[in-house]
Structure 1
Amino acid sequence: MTRLIAGVAGGLSLATPDSRTRPTTGRTREALFSRLDARLDFTDLRVLDLYAGSAALGLEAISRGAEELVAVEAGRTAASVARRNAQAVGDALDQASARPARITVVEQRVQSWLSGAPAAHFDLVFVDPPYDVSTAALETLLVDLLPALSPLADVVIERSSRTPDLRWPAGYVGQPPRRYGETVLWFGESEDARVG
């Protein structure tokens, strides 16, 4: 069982999919959101959660004030769990008389969904692919993601500490990775295309 950390729905328990899905540990989620809290105001953010699993990362952002979440997950079981979690968070927002958020769970392969993604739309993106997705494939995905990002969007990637280091493609500014046990988080930001 996973719990949301903070915000309107803080403390809410979320269901997790079966053992084929690897949820982000509580320690890693706390470190991730502590870092994001230091640099972002979640209010009105449009969030994309790729390889969403239970959608815990995106729903944490919704709990903290984000206005929209699109969670993309190809696995039928995981997408069903993400929908149930989205409903629970939506109900918690309603009970707290908080501003409603738009939450959409898309059961589709990430690369396929990206081909029709809205342009310059998302302010914060979580990318948590299965560890067997190669670093080269992930770098290609980041190129395909770029048109969907608003200027200066934040992108967070979760990988195994055993995977090869990521090289951010042109269009991104990367920060040094942070390691949490067997997990490494990569933080990047899309460049502002309006500059120059």
Structure 2
Amino acid sequence: MRIVAGAFKGRALASVGKGDPGAHLRPTTDRTRESLFNMLSGGRFGDPITDARVLDLFAGTGALGLEALSRGATHATFVDDGTKSTSLIKQNIGICEAQAQTKLIRRDARKLPENPGAPYDLIFLDPPYGKGLGETALTQALKQNWIAKDALIVWEESATIAPPEELTYLDARKYGDTTITLLQA
């Protein structure tokens, strides 16, 4: 796994290795991540990355948030409660030398407290597949003021999703068994 483009382009991220079977780590492939960011920067959705505040829920390795930072986002907050995940995110933040631009919250993404700061413009949501966790996490993030008005939400899932009604469907693309759905707050 590596950063595909931008300031951190080519940096090899920490290896997931065999990982933790209970951690449900299945990092977004470089090719899928590259396709996703090409779609985001293609102009159809404006420029959702430059100067964005990014919230990476179920962050896993942190690759999506770090890719956004590499391409011009100003800040990324990573949320994950897994021991293996938080270790990998810390390693990857170090590899990208992005400590000043990041925050790591070790917490279940479905149980976010009230957001103490400004809401986020670009949200990545990559929950364990087929468990319905994304719906709960997004509902909580909206309720607790983590998601800005007009924020772009990128939801990676293998099963059919049921987004909260406050969100508007924009587009969806299928990559193997993964569907990436774009929604707007």
Q: Same fold (TM over 0.5)?
A: yes
Cα separation, 2, equivalents of 1:19 and 1:183 = 21
Does structure 2 conserve the Cα–Cα contact (< 8 Å) formed by 1:62 and 1:101? no
Q: 1:67 aligns with which of 62, 74, 80?
A: 74
Q: Is contact 1:16–1:23 with CA below 8 Å preserved after alignment? A: no
Question: C-alpha distance in 2, partners of 1:8/1:90?
Answer: 11
SS of residue paired to 1:23? coil
The equivalent residue for 1:110 is: 109
For residue 29 of structure 1, give the secondary structure of its aligned residue in structure 2: helix
Structure 1 stretch 79-88 or stretch 166-175: which is displaced more?
A: 166-175
After superposition, the Cα gap between the structure-2 partners of 1:120 and 1:171, relative to the gap in structure 1 and judged at 3 Å, is farther
**Number of aligned positions between the proteins:** 175
Q: 1:84-138, CA deviations, whole angstroms, 9 ceiling, x for partnerless residues?
A: 11011126xxxxxxxx8521122221122x223246510001000011422xx42
Structure 2 stretches lacking a partner, 5+ long: none
d(CA) in 1 for partners of 2:173 and 2:7? 28
Higher Cα Rg: structure 1 or 2?
1
1:25-66 per-position Cα deviation (integer Å, ceiling 9, x unaligned): 122111110111123252221001011111000000011111
Cα drift, residue 141 of structure 1? 2.3
The answer to which of 33-42 and 60-69 deviates more is 33-42
Aligned to 1:14: 13
Q: 1:142 to 1:154 in 2, by over 3 A?
A: same
TM-score (norm 1): 0.82
Q: Which piece of structure 1 moves more, 72-81 or 165-174? A: 165-174
Amino acid at match of 2:10: G
1:39-50 paired onto structure 2 within 5 Å = 39=45, 40-50=47-57
RMSD: 1.8
Aligned residue type for 1:102: Q
Where does residue 141 of structure 1 map in the other structure? 137
Q: Which residue of 1 aligns with 2:124?
A: 126
Q: Does 1:35 align with 2:39?
A: yes
Please name the residue that 2:148 is paired with: 150
Give unpaired runs (5+ residues) of structure 1.
92-99, 191-196
Kept after mapping to 2: 8 A contact 1:124/1:154: yes
Is 1:89 equivalent to 2:87 in the alignment?
no
2:177 pairs, out of 179, 182, 190, with 182
- Taking the TM superposition and a 5 Å limit, the aligned residue runs for 1:150-169 are 150-160=148-158, 163=159, 165-169=160-164
Question: Distance between the aligned counterparts of 1:140 and 1:42, measured in 2?
Answer: 25
Residue pair 1:70, 1:104 contacting (<8 A) in 2 also: yes
Q: Which runs of 4+ in 1 moved over 6 A?
A: none
